[in-house]
Each structure stands twice: as structure tokens, then as C-alpha cells.
Amino acid sequence: KHITTVDWVVKEASYTRLCSTKKILTVNGLFPGPAIYMRRGDRLKVNVRNAGEYNVTIHWHGVKQPRNPWSDGPNYVTQCPIKPGANFTYEIVLSNEEGTLWWHAHSDWSRATVHGPLIVLPKLGKGFPFAKPHKAVPIVLGRCENGGEPNKSDAFTINGQPGDLYNCSKEGTFKMVVDYGKTYLLRIINSIMNEEMFFMVANHNLTVVGTDGAYIKPITTSYIMITPGQTMDVLITANQSPSHYYMASRASAELVYDNTTTTAILQYSGNYTAPSTPSFPNLPNFTDTDSVTNFTRRLKALATKDYPVDVPQSVDTRLYITISVNTLPCANNSCDGPNGTRLSASLNNISFVEPSIDVLQAYYRSIQHVYESDFPNEPPYYFNFTGDNLANTLLTPEQGTKVKVLDYNSTVEIVFQGTNVLNGAENHPMHLHGHSFYLVGYGFGNFNNETDPKSYNLVDPPEVNTIGVPTKGWAAIRFRADNPGVWFMHCHLERHASWGMDTVLIVKNGRTLSTSMRRPPRQLNPC
Ligand code: C2O
Ligand code: CU
């Protein structure tokens, strides 16, 4: 089968927003970056040349890449970085993904501006499991920033634009023109580094029909909540009086900086007098955790003959993983934690350390001392994880490059347990590479091994690749480890991922060639 190749250049470009111009890292000079359109089951090669000043890698978020971890992208997990002046050819291998996914840089903080949509259309001649929309429009939620911790003056963006609530931004505001009576598909992506977002369109209902590249039973709602890394396919019908309406998005938690709401305009075609102030949606409040969790609880897989659910009914390997922000002793001058410590983060009290050569290569070539295979199946000790006023010293993490090895085709359950260590106020969007997983359970407090599994949804749980685990609660997922390779698993809040809230799952080869990892591509980047 013929495989197309596209060429990308990672380079700096000047970018003017909020009245000032700065240099940002881009693909082909674009922010957000170029959209990729593929069809279910397709392959595509993307040759990335690094014309910037820093190391970079690219990840295809939500693409399972069967047997092909070589192209997955996370820095020092499946490859060494593409150095300035070098290039690498990725091969995007789709399997059963369909809907909206995205791609982003996966090295340090570069994904702040290096990201874009990756849209998977149905197979040629096949339709959507809903009436064909008149048009589909990507909506990329982002922020104008250079990476690193946020500046007070940063603003969130919709398709690269902060919107007309801010100075100098009116002209560029993203406008979506609609015809009365028609239905549109919004392909919404939260590419923001650290914030969960609410999204609404004034006076219009939204119907969510998919998330993370899989269809769901339609949910009609006035707002959506979308966590970093997540994507949503949302239908909207232009059935209100022809006019201009605000689309708006803002963070679902209190922020330390201003400019927390970004806007775009839904603009009906035709002749009418445009309002001087379009109606504005009534977004849920900051810290409205009920709105967050109520929305997540409504997600159910489509579960039809054409879009079946294959959730493991029994489990071979069970992991119980605590998610914490904690502190480490601090020697240099970035001691940002309490009492002269520095902030860190961990899974089961292990704070992930990036190795100096990638885990995939070390595994494939049996290179010793790069990682250890003893990531623990449960936390080192038990306490009231979600209680108030937990001592900050409760968990000082151990640092290491620890991975969990899984047998090919084994069934896996992971219960992610949020903890209130350091009085964490944030949900953690846990993301797994190489697989999507079924969200079978979701609740508050400490997971109860006796009672909580009884409430699992093993019939039509949503199939996703990212789940917002509540700080004071838990989420249970199941999947089949049917993709041999080396797969990163981490919090999609960049701050937490960079502090060590990560681990790696290695899925062993099956017995046959077709159930084993592919051979490495001829050209690998040296470390
Ligand atoms: Cu979208 Cu490992 O990330
Ligand atoms: Cu987190």
C-alpha cells in the first residue's frame, strides 16, 4: 500500500498577540500547527526537520501505533531527541481510532506551541454514526505562552486567538460562520499545558458524540469540561435567531494569573443587524467540581454492532497507583516548595527520572542500568489518601526510572488514586500511550476494594486515552495489553509530568512475528 509522506519544519516564528510580539516555536510557522487528516486504518509518514535551537520530538496523541513504538515520540522513552539540524521520519499507524485526535511536541515544555489537530475520518464510503454534519471545524484550545510557568499576562486562545475581550485582539478573533438550520461538528482539543477547561456557546446546546477518537452515546449539554490531552467531537445546530454569539472557554480551577477566558464568535450568515455585544454564555464557576465530575460520569461508549465495546471482564494484572505532588530536598536556587524544598510529583511514590538513552532502545538491545523493572503494584503504605491537612512530609518520593512489564495480551486494571498530599487542588489527567482504555469506575474518597468494583460499568464504559482523576477521588480503567512496545503513562499537566508524575509500561512481544514489535527504522537519532 502506498504511504504518503509530508514534510514538516520545526522553527521559530514571530507571533503577535495581546499587543506584543515574541518568538515561538512552531511547525511550518503555524500556531496552532498544521492539521493532519487521515482515514481510519491509514498510515502516514511525517518527516520532521528541526530548524530550531532546541531538541524536539513529536507525539501522535491517541494514535495506538500497533507494534510501532519507534514512532511514538516521548523524549527518552521511545527515542532520543531530534537535535537542531537533524531530522526524523515518523510513521503514524492508525488502527481503530476514529474522530478527533491531535499531535504535539513531547520534549520539555515545547508542546506549548508545537501542536495541532490529527483528524481521523471514517473509512472511504463509510459515514459517521450520526447524521452527516454540514461542516466540521477544529477548535484548538491553547494559550499564548513560551512554555515554562505562566505569566500573568498570558491568555488562553481558541485557534491561536485570545478573542476580543483583550486589547489588540479584536481583529484576529476566530469566527465560525454558520447557516441557519444546519448542524456543524466541532472537533475540540485541549492542548493547554496545565488547565482543565469549560467550553460553551451562548444560547446553543452542544451534543457530544465522541471523545479521544472513539464514539460515545450522544450527550446533550449546555457546557463541556475538557481536560488537558482530551479531545471531543461535538455537534451544534444553528437554530437560534440569526445573530452573533460568543463561544467561550475558561479554566475550571482558580488561576494565579489574569485573562482566564478566551472567546470566539459563532456568526450566522445572512442579513440582519449584528448586536453590538453578542450574548455571552454563563460558564460554570471556577472550582465547580460538581460540574466537572457530573459531566465525566455521563460518558458512555456507543456500544453498537459497528462500534463494539471489548472491555476485559476479568483481570490478570492489577495496579493501584497513588498520584501525588510532593517535595524533595533542594540544593540549587529553584526551591519552589515549602520550607526550602523543591516541588516534585510521583506515582506510587516514585518520581520518574528521565534516563540518558531512551527506554525503548535499552529494552530492545538489552542495555543494562538504564531503567529498573520494579515499578510497584501498590503504594508503599496506606493512609487516608484523600483526607484534609495531610502532612507535606508524608510522602517524600523515591527517584528512579522504574517501569512495569506486562505480558502480551494480558488484561490490566489500574486504579488511579488521587491524594491530597500537599493539599492538591487539581485533577490529574492521566494519559496512556499505545492503548486506549475503558473507564470502568470513577468516585470520590479512597478506593474501596470490596465495594467499589461492584459499581463498575463493564457494559458500555467509554474508551478513552486520558482521564481526569479527581484529587480527592479515584478512577478505575481496564485494557488489554495487546500492543508490544514501550509506552509512556503520565499526568498530562505539563507541570506534574515534568516533576516526575510518570512511568512506563513495557508490553512484551507475543509468540509470533505479527504479535511482536516491528524492527527499528533504519535511521534512529543518537542520544
Ligand atoms: Cu499527549 Cu505523553 O502525551
Ligand atoms: Cu497531575
Distances (CA, A) of 89 to 9, 45, 119: 12, 7, 20
Residue 525 lies in a domain: no
pLDDT value at position 155? 83
Please give the average per-residue pLDDT across 106-113, as a whole number: 92
Same domain, 250 and 321: no
Give me the pLDDT at residue 206, please: 97
- Report residues whose beta carbon is within 6 angstroms of any ligand 1 atom: 59, 61, 74, 104, 106, 229, 431, 433, 488, 490, 492
Q: Quick one: which atom of ligand 1 is closest to the CA of 102?
A: 1
Question: Which residues, at least 6 apart from 7, have a Cβ–Cβ distance to it below 8 Å?
Answer: 46, 47, 49
Same domain, 356 and 396: yes
**441 has a pLDDT exceeding 70:** yes
Cα gap 202→279, rounded to integer Å: 6
Q: Which helix (H) or strand (E) holds 105?
A: strand 99-105
**Which position has the higher pLDDT, 148 or 444?**
444
* Mean pLDDT, range 84-93, rounded to an integer: 98
Task: Note whether 272 and 201 are same-domain residues.
Answer: yes
Alpha-helix runs per DSSP H in 394-500: 494-499
- Give the per-residue pLDDT at 154: 73
Examine residue 308 and state whether it is found in any structural domain, yes or no.
Answer: no
Query: Residues 7, 155: one domain?
Result: no
What number is the average pLDDT over the span 91-95?
Answer: 97
pLDDT for 251 equals: 84
Is 38 a domain residue? yes
Co-location of 256 and 224 in the same domain: yes
Looking at the fold, whether 161 and 251 belong to one and the same domain comes out as yes
Q: Is the separation of the CB atoms in 200 and 276 below 8 Å?
A: no
Q: Does 267 reside within a domain? A: yes
Q: What is the pLDDT of residue 272?
A: 96
Residues with C-beta atoms within 5 A of ion ligand 2: 428, 491, 493, 496
Ligand nearest, relative to CA of residue 73: 1
**Element holding 394 (H helix, E strand):** none
- The alpha carbon of 105 and the centre of ligand 2 are apart by a number of angstroms equal to 18
pLDDT at 140: 98
The secondary structure of 312-353 as a DSSP string is: -SS-SEEEEEEEEEEEEE--SS---SGGGEEEEEEETTEEE-
- Pick from 259, 265, 291: which is nearest to 277 by CA? 265
Position 429, amino acid: P
Which of 301, 330, 361 is the C-terminal boundary of a domain? 301
Ligand nearest to the CA of 433: 1
Of 464, 435, 478, 434, the residue nearest 99 (C-alpha): 464
113 and 139 belong to one structural domain = no
Give residue 398's pLDDT: 95
Alpha-carbon span 211 to 213, nearest angstrom = 6
Residue with more model confidence, 305 or 290: 305
> Stretch 27-47: mean pLDDT, rounded?
97
How far CA 132 is from CA of 99, 137, 213, 343, 495, in Å, comes to 13, 13, 17, 49, 39
CA 492 to centroid of ligand 1, rounded, Å: 6
Distance 350 CA to ligand 1 centre (A): 19
| Closest residue CA from atom 3 of ligand 1 | 61
Read off the DSSP letter of residue 423.
G
Q: Which of 14-18, 35-39, 440-444 has the lowest mean pLDDT?
A: 14-18
- C-alpha–C-alpha distance, residues 258 and 150, integer Å: 10
Portion of the chain with pLDDT greater than 70, in percent: 94
| Smallest-distance ligand from the CA of 419 | 2
Eight-state DSSP code of residue 503: E
Q: Which ligand is nearest to the CA of 253?
A: 2
Q: Is pLDDT of 153 > 60? A: no
Rank 150-164, 353-367, 378-392, 414-428 by mean pLDDT and report only the highest. Answer: 353-367
* CB distance 448 to 476 below 8 Å: no
**Residue with the three cell numbers 504511504:** 3
Residue nearest to atom 1 of ligand 1 (CA): 61
Q: Are residues 155 and 290 in the same domain?
A: yes
Write down which residue in 272, 301, 330 finishes a domain: 301
Averaged pLDDT for residues 13-23: 84
Query: Looking at the structure, do residues 177 and 221 belong to the same domain, yes or no?
Result: yes
Centre of ligand 2 to C-alpha 236, Å, is 31
Query: 527 lies in a domain?
Result: no
Provide the phi-psi class of 101: left if phi over 0, else alpha when psi is between -120 and 50, else beta.
beta
- Same domain for 150 and 56: no
**pLDDT over 90 (residue 377):** yes
Q: State residue 465's pLDDT score.
A: 98
Q: How many domains does the chain have?
A: 3
Comparing 272 with 396, which gets the higher pLDDT? 272
Strand bridging mode 20-27 / 5-17: antiparallel
Q: What is the pLDDT of residue 393?
A: 61
* 258 lies in some domain: yes
Give the cell for residue 397. 518520593
Q: Which domain range does residue 245 map to?
A: 130-301
**Is residue 235 over pLDDT 70?**
yes
**62 CA closest ligand 1 atom index:** 1
Model confidence pLDDT, tens digit, residues 207-229: 999 999 999 999 999 999 999 99
Same-domain pairing of 2 and 120: yes
368, 508: one domain: yes
Q: How far, in Å, CA of 473 to CA of 464, rounded?
A: 19
For the chain, give the mean pLDDT: 92
pTM of the model: 0.96
Lowest mean pLDDT among 244-248, 260-264, 307-311, 465-469: 260-264
User: Does residue 70 sit within a domain?
Assistant: yes
Q: Find the 493 Cα to ligand 1 centroid distance in Å.
A: 10
Among candidate residues 301, 332, 349, the one where a domain is terminated: 301
Q: Which ligand is nearest to the Cα of residue 228, counting in written order? A: 1
Ligand 1 atom with the shortest distance to the CA of 104: 1
Which band of pLDDT confidence, cut at 50, 70 and 90, is reported for residue 257?
A: low
Complex confidence, ipTM = 0.98
Mapped onto helix, strand or coil, the DSSP state of residue 393 is coil
Kindly tell me the sign of the dihedral angle through the C-alpha atoms of 443, 445, 449, 452.
negative
CA of 238 to the centre of ligand 2 (A): 37
The reported pLDDT for the residue numbered 84 is 97
Using the mean position of ligand 1's atoms as its centre, give its distance from the Cα of residue 267 in Å: 34
Q: Is the pLDDT of residue 40 over 90?
A: yes
For the CA of 488, the closest atom of ligand 1 is: 2
Asked if the structure places residue 417 within a domain, the reply is yes
Output the pLDDT for position 255.
58
- DSSP state, 268? E
Percent of the chain, pLDDT > 90? 78
- Determine the distance separating the centroid of ligand 2 and the alpha carbon of 493, expressed in angstroms: 5
pLDDT for position 144: 78
The Å distance, Cα 308 to ligand 1 centre, comes to 26
Which atom of ligand 1 lies closest to the CA of 73? 2
CATH code at 416? 2.60.40.420
